[in-house]
Structure 1
Amino acid sequence: MKELNPFILHSSLDIVEDIQWKTSQLYLKTIDNFYGYYISGFLTSGNIKFLLIHETKNEESIRQFFNDLNDLYVKVLLNPFYKVNDAITSPVFDLKVKGFAKKYL
């Protein structure tokens, strides 16, 4: 199943782009599902899309995960050495995202 995750998430981008013009919310909740897996979305104020594929339906913990992830992403953007639209290659960023996943998911 893991090998299909990029394709599932990529197909959900179309749904996110449809929804983003119909709501003012950043957290889009569950936008799609695929064989028992749910896809949730989040839009940053700069129109960056975060997608999460998960098995649980706990909307509150997923919302908190996305809010903490957004805060961390904003801190990366404020770094004067980061160039917008470059890949985030920081191992610290990766560890913090994994910590958020353990905490909320």
Structure 2
Amino acid sequence: MKSASLPCRQLAIAQLALAMVLMPLIALWPRAGLAMLVLPLPGHGAGAAQWARHQGLPLTGRGVARGSLIVIGRGPYTPFSALGAGALVFAVPSSLCQSSPNAQSANHQG
């Protein structure tokens, strides 16, 4: 009887592990018309900017990480669509894209 329940338990653990991997990926999947974070990979500091410029994506701000950009997506992208340019693309919740008026004016000055 134990041998029959063991494969079911392993299957349940495998399904749980798959769900734990897929949920963040789905939440961070870039969507057209929404803000995206373009994050350069180590050693590719200009990769994010080059990819965004090549795609014609409007720059709306800079990310927290060095060389990262926040852009508005125009088409369907995958998180790895910018990999050839040395960058990764992730969806950014709109609540994280809003900043205070003082921070916006500081970004426009320099």
TM range (shorter): under 0.3
Greater relative CO (CA pairs within 8 A, separation 6+): 2
TM-score by length of 1: 0.27
The structure with more radius of gyration = 2
TM-score by length of 2: 0.26
